[in-house]
């Protein structure tokens, strides 16, 4: 009997200590082959910035995430995540920082206003509608995102101010760094749809299998045309 109980405890511990795997890779954007942008060149010049061509190589804020609910689902940070409004030297107006914020569903996001001027932060997105009204320091506004989806956020006063809150169904996501590299760790073993997202490009999916303590490498190249419909 004692032996059986010990055995059960041992099995329980093994189940508890299954170690997740890691998903690593890069995300980059590329214009459709044959267009001027694919060759780079003259449009990389700052002089042509007014022409508002997309410099695909310079795109940032890619998010990579596992689609759908997973395990115990979202692990919500204990403290609210923040999007700060601030003025930068390079921009005439105020901006939200970060510009793209992926969060797990249930996360509360605060919008501290670091300016001495008023802002009115709002969204009309289906996943979350809100309107903070005019406010500035030390008043603080916050919203909890309870539904997955893309939430576009604007300021009713300043046209340069916009950001995207990407509300995701689980906590297995990463935002790529300045070189397009990302890493998602402690992923429970399993087969998943891994999705690469950018606010202005078609998303892409790949089916991946993560093994216990294994490392899966997945690279994405996003671009208009040629990408799977989403
Ligand atoms: Cu504003």
The CATH number for 176's domain is: 2.60.40.420
Residue 206 included in any domain: no
> What is the pTM (predicted TM-score) of this model?
0.81
Q: What is the mean pLDDT of the chain?
A: 83
Query: Which pLDDT does position 33 carry in this prediction?
Result: 57
Confidence of residue 40 (pLDDT cuts 50, 70, 90): very low
Residue 224 included in any domain: no
Residues around ligand 1, an ion, CB closer than 5 A: 119, 155, 157-158, 161
Query: Which pLDDT does position 31 carry in this prediction?
Result: 82
Measure 134 CA to ligand 1 centroid, in angstroms.
9
Decide if pLDDT at 30 tops 50: yes
* Residue 73 vs residue 9, higher pLDDT: 73
Decide if pLDDT at 230 tops 50: no
Distance CA 94, CA 128 (A): 23
Give me the mean pLDDT over the 136-140 stretch: 88
Give me the mean pLDDT over the 103-109 stretch: 94
Contact assessment for residue 59 and residue 29, using Cβ atoms and an 8 Å cutoff: yes
Measure 122 CA to ligand 1 centroid, in angstroms.
10
Measure 167 CA to ligand 1 centroid, in angstroms.
23
Measure 190 CA to ligand 1 centroid, in angstroms.
44
Give me the mean pLDDT over the 73-94 stretch: 70
What's the total number of domains in the chain?
1
Decide if pLDDT at 137 tops 60: yes
Give me the mean pLDDT over the 63-69 stretch: 95
Query: Which pLDDT does position 73 carry in this prediction?
Result: 55
Residue 21 included in any domain: no
Q: What is the pLDDT of residues 11-20, one digit of tens each?
A: 444 555 678 9
The conformation of residue 122, written as its DSSP 8-state character, comes to E
Measure 210 CA to ligand 1 centroid, in angstroms.
43
Decide if pLDDT at 125 tops 50: yes
Give me the mean pLDDT over the 124-131 stretch: 98
What six digits make up the tokens of 82?
């923040």
**What residues pair up with 217 in beta bridges, in sequence order?**
24
Give me the mean pLDDT over the 60-82 stretch: 84
Residue 104 included in any domain: yes
Question: Could you list the residue range(s) of the whole structural domain that residue 175 is in?
Answer: 26-36+54-201
For the chain, the C-alpha Rg in angstroms (whole number) is 21
Residue 78 included in any domain: yes
Decide if pLDDT at 80 tops 90: no
Residue 115 included in any domain: yes
Contact assessment for residue 137 and residue 114, using Cβ atoms and an 8 Å cutoff: yes
Measure 93 CA to ligand 1 centroid, in angstroms.
8
Measure 159 CA to ligand 1 centroid, in angstroms.
8
Distance CA 191, CA 193 (A): 7
Q: Is 195 helix (H, G, I), strand (E, B) or coil?
A: strand
Measure 121 CA to ligand 1 centroid, in angstroms.
7
In the chain, the percentage of residues whose pLDDT exceeds 70 is: 76
Give me the mean pLDDT over the 223-228 stretch: 65
Residue 228 included in any domain: no
Decide if pLDDT at 35 tops 60: no
Residue 93 included in any domain: yes
């Amino acid at each position: 009997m004692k032996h059986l109980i010990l055995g059960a405890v041992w099995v329980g511990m093994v189940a508890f200590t299954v170690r997740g795997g890691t998903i690593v890779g890069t995300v980059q954007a590329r214009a459709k082959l044959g267009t001027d942008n694919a060759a780079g060149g003259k449009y990389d010049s700052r002089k042509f910035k007014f022409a508002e061509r997309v410099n695909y190589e310079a795109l940032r804020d890619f998010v990579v995430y596992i689609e759908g609910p997973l395990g115990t689902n979202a692990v919500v940070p204990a403290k609210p995540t923040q999007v700060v409004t601030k003025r930068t030297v390079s921009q005439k107006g105020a901006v939200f920082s970060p510009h793209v914020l992926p969060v797990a569903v249930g996360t509360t996001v605060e919008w501290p206003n670091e300016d001495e001027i008023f802002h009115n932060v709002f969204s009309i997105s289906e996943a979350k509608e809100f309107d903070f009204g005019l406010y500035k320091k030390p008043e603080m506004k916050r919203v909890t995102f309870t539904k997955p989806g893309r939430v576009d956020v604007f300021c009713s006063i300043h046209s340069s101010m916009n950001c995207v809150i990407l509300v995701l169904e689980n906590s297995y996501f990463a935002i790529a760094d300045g070189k397009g590299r990302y890493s998602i760790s402690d992923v429970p073993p399993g087969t998943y749809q891994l999705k690469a997202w950018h606010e202005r490009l078609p998303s892409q999916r790949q089916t991946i299998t993560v093994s216990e303590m294994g490392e899966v490498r997945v690279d994405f190249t996003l671009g208009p045309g040629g990408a799977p419909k989403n």
